[in-house]
Structure 1
Amino acid sequence: MRAPSLTLEGQTALVTGGSKGLGAAITRMLADAGAKVIAVAREQAALDALCKQHERIEGWTADVRDPAFHAALADRDLDILVNNAGTNRPMPMADVPADVLDEMLQLNVRSSYLVAQAAVRSMLRRGQPGSIVHISSQMGHVGSPGRTVYCMTKHAIEGLTKAMAVELAPHGIRVNAVAPTFVETPMTGPMLADPAFRAFVGQMLPMGRLATPEDVAAAVLYLASPLAAMITGTSLLVDGGWTAQ
């Protein structure tokens, strides 16, 4: 038998939140592996800049909360979905206003579910195997002060991953999660700018460094590739040992 490889030649992938940070790194790595990659984001300028970096990257300006996007996605031929769009608004639980709670549930849970549902409809329509990778977090496995809402939403994604995997395995659709530790991105930059918080993060990471976007993208590529053909329903922690303690 020929050994499976990381190549994604001939496959079409879609990455939500794909124009910057983790999403941009994932988009580039999947394109380098041979996939045609559709990067979805709301900011046209950022998408245009990303598309110029690789001939196999296509930009799709859309809001992942928009029902019209969900309908259009279900009509696209898709082999791989990377469900990456999300947000965080850290604050003490007693101070979380209802609108922040609703915003994070809407984007991190409801939209993630509906985007995954649309991708599943695409894959079932085609009758072809597929791979879905949810971008979760180490906070989907543990708790942390000031992150009650974020932890709740990421624990939800971990549960969704397992349930989807069980239901969709008979159709050849694999569903997994990647759970990163802190990565310096536009979303986490303001948090990590606080010296005390950055020191706390450093103390919690046995590997002694933050993850890079490429560390996370490599895990996504592995789970999306033929090398992970027997892997479904799991969460790959890219956390430098944070949750091992």
Structure 2
Amino acid sequence: MKLLEGKTVLVTGGSTGIGRAAAIGAARHGADVAINYASSDNKARSCVAEIEALGQRAIAVKGDVADPATSGEFIARGVEAFGRVDVLVSNAGICPFHAFLDMPVETVDRTFRVNLHGAYYMVQAAARQMVEQGEGGVIVAVSSISALVGGEFQTHYTPTKAGVHSLMQSAAIALGKHGIRCNSVLPGTILTEINKDDLADDAKRAYMESRTPLGRLGQPEDLVGPIVFLASDMAEYVTGAALLVDGGMFVNLQ
């Protein structure tokens, strides 16, 4: 069953990690896909190639989500290529680990501008297009388990992910009358480029695995099912919700 047959899906941060997995997963479920990416040209091209190999159309649009102009351009390019926007997956994010007391101002500002401001502008631009189309739509934002728990070296990151979670709750209220559903997924520890250096320490990785009831850390592909479900008509009465995808880590920490 292809849950996104005939849909157009836009994914930010789509060249690597969770965004790439979501983009290819959406294509497997019948969607045409536009990805936004910041710097990885080769990875963006290979993602587009994988989608096209599945028989779906794809484009890659380069741009920094921290720049408000990027959101409008990305949505416009998606409409130009595919005629409409049915689903936005707001995924782009960074997490440069750093101690709290000497956290550089530039690191704090950049993290907020990418993770929270970037999500806000992308969600707003996509919503405007969906309202103009007049047929509803879906927005899925990638928050984090970090929206619910703290992190010693993530004092700049956890507030942004809590903000993304809150943004989806408020947007669900603001956009419900337009038939637009807004939900978030909250990944646990997923093996991506964001944390590959942090988890290069075998002892730390083993410790993180030991805190997860399912006994392993997540892979980007573990987010595909939850994102596709929330984007599909199977979730047509789900909005303002947050879905933990963490192997049980959050409940274990309680």
Q: TM-score range by the shorter chain?
A: over 0.9
Alignment partner of 2:41 out of 36, 40, 44? 44
Q: How does 1:64-143 map to 2 (within 5 A)?
A: 64-75=65-76, 76=79, 77-143=84-150
What is residue 229 of structure 1 aligned with on the other side? Answer: 236
CA distances 1:214-241 after superposition (whole Å, capped 9, x unpaired): 1111110010011111101011100111
Partner of 2:198, secondary structure, is helix
What is the distance in 2 between the residues matched to 1:15 and 1:203? Answer: 32
What is residue 59 of structure 1 aligned with on the other side? Answer: 60
Q: Larger deviation: 42-51 or 150-159?
A: 42-51
What is the distance in 2 between the residues matched to 1:119 and 1:30? Answer: 17
- Structure 1 residue 151, shift from structure 2 partner: 0.9
What is the distance in 1 between the residues matched to 2:220 and 2:183? Answer: 18
CA distances 1:64-111 after superposition (whole Å, capped 9, x unpaired): 223332222444321100000000012221121111100101101111
What is residue 166 of structure 2 aligned with on the other side? Answer: 159
What is residue 15 of structure 2 aligned with on the other side? Answer: 19
Where do 4+ consecutive residues of structure 1 move more than 6 Å? none
TM, length-normalised to structure 2? 0.91
What is the distance in 2 between the residues matched to 1:196 and 1:30? Answer: 35
TM, length-normalised to structure 1? 0.94
What is residue 31 of structure 1 aligned with on the other side? Answer: 27
Q: Give the direction of change, closer, same or farther, for the CA distance of 1:6–1:237 in structure 2 (3 Å limit).
A: farther
CA distances 1:22-77 after superposition (whole Å, capped 9, x unpaired): 11110000001001010111232211111111222221122222333222244432
| Kept in 1: contact 2:36–2:74 (CA 8 A) | no
Tell me the amino acid that sits aligned with residue 145 of structure 2.
Q
Q: Larger deviation: 191-200 or 160-169?
A: 191-200
- Structure 1 residue 206, shift from structure 2 partner: 1.1
What is residue 176 of structure 1 aligned with on the other side? Answer: 183
Tell me the amino acid that sits aligned with residue 23 of structure 1.
G
Unmatched tracts of structure 2, length 5 or more: none
| Kept in 2: contact 1:19–1:41 (CA 8 A) | yes
What is the distance in 2 between the residues matched to 1:198 and 1:206? Answer: 14
Q: How does 1:199-238 map to 2 (within 5 A)?
A: 199-238=206-245
Q: How does 1:177-196 map to 2 (within 5 A)?
A: 177-196=184-203
What is the distance in 2 between the residues matched to 1:23 and 1:66? Answer: 19
What is the distance in 1 between the residues matched to 2:68 and 2:125? Answer: 10
What is the distance in 2 between the residues matched to 1:200 and 1:106? Answer: 31
Tell me the amino acid that sits aligned with residue 115 of structure 1.
M
| Kept in 2: contact 1:87–1:104 (CA 8 A) | yes
| Kept in 2: contact 1:27–1:39 (CA 8 A) | yes
Tell me the amino acid that sits aligned with residue 244 of structure 2.
L
What is the distance in 2 between the residues matched to 1:221 and 1:210? Answer: 21
- Structure 1 residue 131, shift from structure 2 partner: 0.5
What is the distance in 2 between the residues matched to 1:72 and 1:145? Answer: 36
Unmatched tracts of structure 1, length 5 or more: none
- Structure 1 residue 11, shift from structure 2 partner: 1.0
CA distances 1:141-175 after superposition (whole Å, capped 9, x unpaired): 11122211111111111111100011111111000
